[in-house]
Amino acid sequence: MKPFSQKIKLNFFDKSQDFRIRLFRILAFGGIAVSFFTVIISLATRMWRTAALAALLIVFSLALIVFTQKTRKYKLAYLLTIIVVFMVILPMMFFTSGGHQSGMPSVFLLAVMFTVLMLKGRAAILISVLEIAEYSAVYCRVLLPRVCQSL
C-alpha cells in the first residue's frame, strides 16, 4: 500500500501529464495554502472581508480540483479560474486588503503570468490584455483620487 503523499504525487503531479494540467494543480494547491494563511492573518488583524474572500478562494479551489478530477474538463476549469479568481476575487481583495500598499499588485502580475501559461494563442493574449486593463483600472481607481487631492 502506497503512502498518502505518494498517491497525491501520482494522481496530481504525474510528469506524464500535460504541463498545463500540472500547472493548474500546482496553482490550485498553492492557492489553497496561501489563502489558508491569508484567512489566519486576516482574522488576526480583523480584516473580515479579506478573510471571507480568502476562505471563498479555498472552497472554490477545492471545488475545481474535485471537478477536474471527475470530469477532466481542464479548459473549462482554466477559464473559471481566470474569470472567477483572477478577474473577480483578486480585484475585490485588492480593495479589502490595503490596495497598492498590500502585496496585491504582485499577485496581479502572477495572475497574468498564469493566464498566459494556462491558455494558448490568441485567447492567452486577449485575456491577459483584458486582465492588465482591469488591474490598471483597479489600481488607478485607488491612486487617481489621491493624486487629484494633492494638486
pLDDT of residue 150 exceeding 80, the answer is no
Q: What percent of the chain has pLDDT over 70?
A: 90
For the question of whether the overall pTM of this predicted structure is more than 0.85, the answer is: no
Written in H, E and C, the secondary structure of the chain is CCCHHHHHHHHHCCCCCCHHHHHHHHHHHHHHHHHHHHHHHHHHCCCHHHHHHHHHHHHHHHHHHHHHHHHCCHHHHHHHHHHHHHHHHHHHHHHHCCHHHCCHHHHHHHHHHHHHHHCCHHHHHHHHHHHHHHHHHHHHHHHHHHHHHHC
* 99 confidence band (pLDDT: 50, 70, 90): confident
Mean pLDDT in residue range 13-20: 75
What pLDDT is stored for residue 27 in this prediction?
87
